[in-house]
Amino acid sequence: MKPRLVKSQREMEGRFEDVWVLVDEEDEVETWPDDAELGIVGSPTIRQDGPVRASGAARYTVDVQLPGMLHALVLRAPLARCRVTALDVDAARAIAGVRAAIGPDAPLTIEGESPLTAEPAWAGDPIAVVAADTPEAAVAGIAALAATFEPLAPLGLEAGLAEQRFTEEPRENVRGEPDAALEGADVRVELTFETPAHVQSPLEPHAAVARWEGDTLTAWVSTQGMFDARRELARRFALAPEQVRVISEYIGGGFGAKQGAGVEAVIAAELARATGRPVRLALGRHEEQVVGGRRSWTRQTVTLGARRDGTLEAIELAAVVDMGVGGWVFPVAEPALSLYACPNVRTMVFPVRTSLRAQNAFRAPGVVEGVTVLEQAIDDLAAELGIDPLDLRRRNHVDRDQASGLPYSSKRLLDCYDRAAELAGWESRAALREPQPDGLLRGMGCATQIWWGGGGPPAHATVRLDAEARALVTTGIQDIGTGTLTSARMIAAEELGLPLDRVFARGGDTLPNVYSPVSGGSMTTPAVMPAVRSAAGKVRRILLSLAADVLEIGVADLDLSDGRIRSRDGALDVDVVEVTGKLGNATIDGSGARGPNPDGFRVNTFGCQIAQIAVDPGTGVVTVERVVAVHDVGRIVNPLGASSQAEGGVLQGIGYALSEELVVDPTTGYPVNGHLDDYKVPTIADVPEILVDFVNTPDPNLPNLGAKGLGEPPIVPTAAAIANAFAHATGRRASAIPLTPARVLEALA
* Sites of contact with ligand MOS (CB under 6 A): 13, 224, 256, 361-363, 365, 520-521, 711-712
Question: Is the previous residue joined to 458 through a cis bond, with omega within 30 degrees of 0?
Answer: yes
Q: Please report which helix (H) or strand (E) contains residue 1, including its range.
A: none
Residue with nearest beta carbon to ligand MOS:
256
> Cα–Cα distance between 359 and 323 in angstroms, integer?
5
**Based on CB atoms, which residue is closest to ligand MOS, 196 or 256?**
256
- For the chain, state the CA radius of gyration: 27
Q: Residue 257 Cβ, how far from ligand MOS at the closest point, in Å?
A: 8
Q: How far is the CB of 492 from ligand MOS (least distance, A)?
A: 25
Within 283-423, strands assigned E span: 298-306, 312-324, 344-353
CA proximity to 636, closest of 449, 459, 447, 490 = 490
Backbone angles phi, psi at 155, to 5 degrees: -80, 115
Task: Report the nearest approach of ligand MOS to the CB of residue 349 (Å).
Answer: 18
Least distance to ligand MOS from the beta carbon of 606, Å? 17
Rounded to a whole number of angstroms, the minimum distance from the CB of residue 196 to ligand MOS is 17
Crossing angle for the helix pair 262-275 and 226-236, to the nearest 10 degrees: 40
**Cβ nearer to ligand MOS, comparing 368 with 654:** 368
Pick the closer one to ligand MOS by CB: 295 or 506: 295
Closer Cβ to ligand MOS, 661 or 712, answer by number: 712
> What is residue 728's three-state secondary structure?
helix
Rounded to a whole number of angstroms, the minimum distance from the CB of residue 294 to ligand MOS is 12
Residue 67 CA to residue 61 CA, distance in Å, equals 15
CB under 8 Å to 611, separation ≥6 — which residues?
Answer: 444, 445, 446, 624, 626, 627, 628, 718, 721, 722, 724, 725
* Crossing angle of helices 524-551 and 484-496, rounded to 10°: 30
Q: Which is nearer to ligand MOS, 480 or 500 (CB)?
A: 480
The single-letter code of the amino acid at 502 is R
Closest approach of ligand MOS to the CB of residue 289, in Å:
17
- Alpha helices per DSSP H over 553-661: 577-580, 639-658
Nearer to ligand MOS, 167 or 478 (CB): 478
Shortest CB 408 distance to ligand MOS, Å: 20
Q: Are 313 and 306 in contact (CB under 8 A)?
A: yes
Query: By C-beta, is 61 or 524 nearer to ligand MOS?
Result: 524
Cβ proximity to ligand MOS: between 121 and 651 the closer is 651
Q: Give 634 or 649: the residue with its C-beta nearer to ligand MOS.
A: 649
Hey, what's the torsion of the CAs at 282, 285, 287, 291, to 10 degrees? 100
Hey, what amino acid is at 618? G
Whichever of 479 and 712 has its CB closer to ligand MOS, that residue is 712
Contacts of 683 (CB under 8 A, 6+ apart): none
Stated as kind and residue range, the H or E segment containing 115 is none
Distances in whole angstroms, Cα of residue 494 to Cα of each of 187, 498, 516: 54, 7, 21
> What is the bridge-based pairing of β-strands 4-12 and 15-23?
antiparallel
Q: Which is nearer to ligand MOS, 363 or 412 (CB)?
A: 363
> At 45, which amino acid appears?
T
Taking the CA atoms of residue 692, residue 697, residue 699 and residue 705 in that order, the dihedral angle to the nearest 10 degrees is 90
Alpha helices in 122-257, H assignment, sequence order: 135-144, 157-162, 178-184, 226-236
Nearest to ligand MOS of 445, 711 (CB atom):
711
Query: DSSP 3-state assignment of 289?
Result: helix
User: What is the closest distance, in whole angstroms, from the C-beta atom of residue 362 to ligand MOS in the complex?
Assistant: 5
| Beta carbon of residue 190, minimum distance to ligand MOS (angstroms, whole number) | 30
Taking phi over 0 as left and psi of -120 to 50 as alpha, with beta for the rest, 112 belongs to left
Please identify, using beta-carbon distances, which residue of 99 and 363 lies nearer to ligand MOS.
363
The least distance separating ligand MOS from the CB of residue 651, rounded to whole angstroms, comes to 16
CA 160 to CA 294: how far, in whole Å? 19
Q: C-alpha angle 710/711/715, rounded to 5°?
A: 95
Closest CA to 137 of 166, 99, 182: 99
**Which is closer to ligand MOS, CB of 31 or CB of 519?**
519
Cα–Cα distance for residue pair 279/265, rounded to 1 Å: 9
CB of 450 to ligand MOS, least distance (A): 15
Say whether 98 sits in a helix, a strand or coil: strand
Amino acid symbol at 543: L
360 or 730: CB nearest ligand MOS? 360
Shortest distance, position 363 Cβ to ligand MOS, whole Å:
5
State the nearest-atom distance from the C-beta of 746 to ligand MOS, in Å. 32
Strands (E), 332-455: 344-353, 441-451
Of 656, 653, 660, whose CA–CA distance to 675 is shortest?
Answer: 660
Least distance between ligand MOS and beta carbon 338 (Å): 18
Residue 15 or 582 with smaller CB distance to ligand MOS: 15
